[in-house]
A and B are shown apart, each in its own frame.
Chain A
Amino acid sequence: MPLDLNYAPGAADEADDDFIDDDDLPGPSSRGKKGGASGGKGGGKGKDPGRHAWEAEYKKSWDIVQEDEKGSLESAVESLLARGRRKRALMADTPLRRSIIRHMFIILDLSDSMMDKDYRPTRFEVILGYLRTYVVEWFDQNPLGQIGIIIMRDRLSEVLVPMGGNPQEILSVLSDKRKLEPSGEPSLQNGLMMAKGGMSHLPTTSSLETLIIFSSISTADPDGPVTIHNVLQEMVDSKIRTNILSLSGEIKICKQISERTNGKFGVALDQDHLKDLMWDTIPPPATTIAPPITVGVRNALAGAGAGQRGGAVGKAPAGDLMVMGFPIQLPLGGETLCACHGLLKKGGYLCPRCGSKLCDVPTDCEVCGLMVVSSPHLARSFWFLFPVANYRVLAIEDVMDSINGNGDTCFGCDVEFPDVSTIEEGVAQVEDGVSPTGRYRCAKCRNDFCADCDLYIHDTLHTCPGCSQ
């Protein structure tokens, strides 16, 4: 009864076999045994049926990393790389429509259950730590988005940070642990009501979302005529996508809420899985432009969320053209009056239409009303629009065939490839997605890249050095 079949493409098949130790006696003594079987992906499938993943002992990620016989971490790193490659391969190459202007409330359960010590040192500490990195990463990928934080404790909900676009503000609140002391029980209903109220003024063209991190196993909602089901209906009507991550197993109402609002529901199996689930919500939510009809059961399962979502939004995607001005940023020279506060300040931006000085962008110009956005803000999301197609793994024969074609250095970093003739055929790695020749070829520009560059280009750079010539 794996709990995580219903969400996140890719998560389902890695979560249960990568991180679960099938040994009854985890700890240092088990490392040797595991090391013997290292590289054996899928070994976890044969896990003791009597044990659930969340019952397994917590393991730090570095415990999983095994040194090979020579004492190097290479093979471990290699399998991590392979995992990344597989994950990417699962990401469809089909064009996606992404909602880039996002508003998200993070609803944080601060009930007593957060003091559980199944995550070290406590759930509370772990989640606060994750949230701080999450917020930074989220704003990095969604520079035009806004985040607010709502906490649930003592059956009440409270807006901890109002909706805003400043990660520093959120970070400073999140670092004050004394104000965040967990206590009592959570009320999901109150939390959702608060989130809905906080987003009621926002346009529906932007993506409205909540991310609920739920640690308790029940919700303690107020008595009265309004039930959580009414609130759920209101969430559906106002198209607020609700993602719920449960730390304590599958909870029916949570699952129902996320399914009805086209969100994701996930049960964290352990600390790393929780992180994976949280990080899955960082990229802007996507809908395929043309929903595939039938692409096999596996893809259908993986794409289920997206398909439904597309259906819910309706056939004609709504959107607007916005007129935006790209400002001139002044150097930190002398002080001049700004149009927004009427104060003397250094630096600032000039509205390209009326020339008045604004303290910060993005903003609406105080004088002429133009939306003033610095173009790098927009450019951060361009890689969604121009993704680099996955590179093809080159087998030995491929390289033999095209000896004359490409040089023997990586087109990115100019490192030399291993000599093909010295690669022993038998020893070639069987790990899927890893090239035995160390070469990966771009289909478009037909240049070869090394594994490092392949990873870097697809994860960070988002521009193929060959194709940009």
Chain B
Amino acid sequence: MAPPPPAPDLSSYPKTTPPSVLLVIIDIHPLSWSLLASPPPLPSVPDQPAIDKAHASPMTLPDFVTILMVFLNAHLASRWGNEVVVYGASAGRAKLLYPPPSNAVAGPSKPRPNTYLPFQLLDSRIEQGLKEMAAEEQDRLANGDVNSLNQPPAMVSALTKALCFINRINPHTSASAALVDPTAAPDPSAPSSTGPDRPETRILVINATPGENVSTSSSSLDPSQTNGEVDGNVQKASGGQMRGGYVGLMNCVFAAQKAKVPIDVLSLPPPSIDASPPIFLQQAAHLTEGIYWQWNGRGGLLQYLHALYLPPPSLRHHPFAVPPQDAVGFRAVCFCHHKTLDVGFVCSVCLSIFCEPRPVCLMCKTRFPIKSIPTLKSLASYIEPIPVPDTVPPPPIPKNSKSQNNENNKKDRNKSVVNGNSGGGRGEPIEID
């Protein structure tokens, strides 16, 4: 076993932390969950017997909600004043599931004497909310609205709603800030307005949809896209059509950065379902200093939730530690076809991103020199995407299934690994520094 960690310096630990508001966005897209409920068999990892023994565990939405409930109750129980807000994101729509609007039912019909009332309220209301949302989906299906079910989950809408909620309970930059003398606060590093009782907020996104999702697939279904492009009316068309898209997600990320709200991401589709990680959610987590983690499909979700996502942001680095984060692909999405790009063409005036050279910028109508187009084409051709290198070196002692799992998963989905490019350094997920 590992040597015992050096005795931590208790005096440096924070004496108290502010109450914490956890906003959970749960992806309840029916198609995604049907995939998760019957995942393809996991590849075996003969060199890691400990992991190989853990069987692939199908995950259904009810099972997961039970797990989530335990996690949320743990959050409520860990400090007085902690709060939970839950949003559900389904195909093309997002909805607040908890807390219920105050004019709705005041509480469970009969409080159980042996249950802490907030737990009971939370459990019953989330269950009810999920059922309502599922019924709505059923209606949509019954009404023959099949196409709308093919839309990706409305993550961006849910994120904007969560950020609006945070803005209401923790107004940072709005009117009250305008009353403050700017010369008095020239120090941007100072944690402005973080009083002891000001709740800290964080967003946890639970993604169930495989693929790069978020933006890329939504618009391919949208017939207005091609029309817009043909008549040069893309400015208008794409504004509406990029819904739930890359631009919206990035705007959410910047707003979250401003409000110092980390966006944590737990991605459920294991590598056997999902060859590509949800890179834009990963970017969001990276840019807001949240935690990104991909489940390996071998059970243990409750433990993951508790170990990774329970500590509030103020305790994450000390005394806890965040799990090592993977390499992040900073790829972008083109405005013309919503393709994910490694190399793109960018308008020098408005910075719109396109996947192919064109004579006129679609967004700002700037004309580009036509004679440079062949050169540009040749500059961007013959690009083979560089595989994300395996940045997790094998741990010296096979003792920690988590980091090993991750490593193996990555190896599986990335055959052409450049191992020399990595290095040591990624330790165990939880360690005390």
Which residues of A are in contact with B by a Cβ distance under 8 Å? 60-62, 65, 73, 77, 80-81, 84, 95, 97-101, 125-126, 128-130, 132-133, 136, 144, 205-206, 271, 275, 289, 316-336, 346, 349-353, 355, 357, 370, 373-376, 378-386, 408-416, 444, 450, 452-453, 455-457, 459-469
Contacts and interface: CB of A to CB of B under 8 A. Distances in A.
Contacts of A320: 348, 368-369, 372
Given A331-B325, A379-B332, A326 B344 contact: yes
A328 B351 contact: no
Interface string B243-264: 1111110111111001000000
Contacts of B163: 456, 461
A366 to B, nearest CB: 16
Given A97-B349, A318-B367, A321-B358, 9 more contacts: A80-B175, A206-B348, A321-B347, A326-B329, A330-B327, A330-B389, A375-B353, A414-B165, A468-B248
Most buried by B among A206, A333, A457: A333
Contact of A328 (B160, B287, B344, B388): B388
B350 to A, nearest CB: 6
Contact of B251 (A332, A333, A462): A462
Contacts of A77: 175-176, 179
B150 interface: no
Contacts of B380: 323
A205 B247 CA distance: 25
B173 A460 contact: yes
Interface string B352-385: 1110011001011111110011001001100101
Most buried by B among A325, A381, A411, A456: A456
B423 A336 contact: yes
Which 7 pairs of residues, A with B, have the shortest CB-CB distance?
A334-B423, A412-B164, A319-B366, A375-B332, A129-B183, A379-B250, A465-B160
A323 B251 contact: no
A289 B154 contact: no
B283 interface: yes
A133 B177 CA distance: 14
B400 to A, nearest CB: 16
Nearest to B169: A413
Given A352-B385, A444-B240, A461 B250 contact: no
Contact of B175 (A84, A97, A130, A316): A84
Contacts of A370: 343, 379
A379 B287 CA distance: 12
B428 to A, nearest CB: 14
A97 B365 contact: yes
Interface of B: 92-94, 96, 101-103, 154, 156-157, 160-161, 163-165, 167-168, 171, 173-176, 178-179, 181-188, 235, 238-240, 242-248, 250-255, 258, 283, 286-287, 324-332, 341-354, 357-358, 361, 363-369, 372-373, 376, 379-380, 383, 385-386, 388-389, 391-393, 418, 421-426
Contacts of B287: 376
Contact of A321 (B156, B368, B385): B368
Contacts of A271: 183
B369 to A, nearest CB: 7
A61 B383 CA distance: 56
A329 B351 contact: no
Nearest to B284: A376
A380 B258 CA distance: 12
Given A385-B350, A412-B160, A463-B156, A323 B250 contact: no
B329 A328 contact: yes
A352 B389 CA distance: 12
Contact of B157 (A319, A452, A468): A468
A275 B242 contact: no
B424 A334 contact: yes
B277 to A, nearest CB: 12
A416 B102 CA distance: 8
A335 to B, nearest CB: 6
Contacts of B175: 77, 80-81, 84, 455
B412 to A, nearest CB: 19
Most buried by B among A144, A205, A324, A381: A324
B366 A468 contact: no
A328 B368 contact: no
Contacts of B353: 324, 375, 378
Contacts of A325: 342-343
A331 B376 contact: no
A444 B157 CA distance: 15
8 contacts: A77-B175, A129-B182, A319-B368, A326-B343, A333-B425, A384-B350, A385-B352, A414-B96
Contacts of B332: 326, 375, 378-379
Nearest to B171: A452
A386 B355 CA distance: 19
B240 A97 contact: no
B182 A331 contact: no
A273 B248 CA distance: 33
Contact of A415 (B168, B186, B244, B286): B168
A77 B376 CA distance: 52
A334 B182 contact: no
A148 B292 CA distance: 37
Given A77-B176, A329-B330, A463 B346 contact: no
Contacts of B154: 468-469
Most buried by B among A317, A370, A379: A379
Contacts of B164: 410, 412-413, 452-453, 456-457, 461, 465
Contact of B327 (A205, A331, A461): A331
Contact of A461 (B255, B325, B388, B425): B255
A461 B174 contact: no
Contacts of A101: 348, 351
A244 B418 CA distance: 54
Contacts of A60: 181
Most buried by A among B101, B156, B183, B423: B183
Contacts of A350: 327, 386, 389, 421
A107 to B, nearest CB: 20
B368 A463 contact: no
A171 B186 CA distance: 10
Nearest to A64: B179
Contact of B350 (A97, A375, A464): A97
B173 A321 contact: no
Contacts of B342: 325-326, 352-353
A391 to B, nearest CB: 13
B283 A376 contact: yes
A320 B324 CA distance: 40
Nearest to B365: A289
A373 B353 CA distance: 12
Given A324-B346, A414-B96, A469-B157, A453 B168 contact: yes
A289 B232 CA distance: 14
Contacts of B363: 385
B282 to A, nearest CB: 10
Contact of A382 (B174, B251, B345): B251
A189 B389 CA distance: 54
